[in-house]
Amino acid sequence: MDVLSYFNYWAVVVLMMLGFFIVIARANLVKKLIGLNIFQTSVFILYISAGKVIGGSAPILSDDVTLYSNPLPHVLILTAIVVGIATTSVGLALVIRIHAAYGSVNQNDILKQDQQC
């Protein structure tokens, strides 16, 4: 019971480690970015879960509601999502330029090419 009530946080930990592992273990630059995205998303879930008050309603002012969820983490995460999108787009733009310059998006290939010249 106790374990299940922390379900969100277990999901966060699993996603975080998955993302982190992909970033470290994969040589493909696009996959690295995907891993980075999963890693960031897990933190978004962490924040949003923390904002939920059990039994609380959506934070919209109304007369017949007394208990609200905390809206602040959601707002913070909206900002963080924007930051995440910006990071992903800069990263993908870099991958396109890398592909144009090296003809590959595999880190090992790229390093090999650099060593040759």
**Binders of other proteins in range 25-44 (CB under 8 A):** 29, 32, 36, 39-40, 43
Does 20 interact with other proteins (rule: CB under 8 A)? yes
Q: Compute the residue count for the chain.
A: 117
Q: Which residue number, 18 or 76, has a Cβ lying nearer to other proteins?
A: 76
User: Is residue 12 exposed (0-12), middle (13-18) or buried (19+ Cβ within 10 Å)?
Assistant: buried
Minimal distance, residue 64 CB to other proteins, in Å: 26
Specify the residue, 59 or 91, whose C-beta has the smaller distance to other proteins.
91
Both tokens assigned to 24: 């470290």
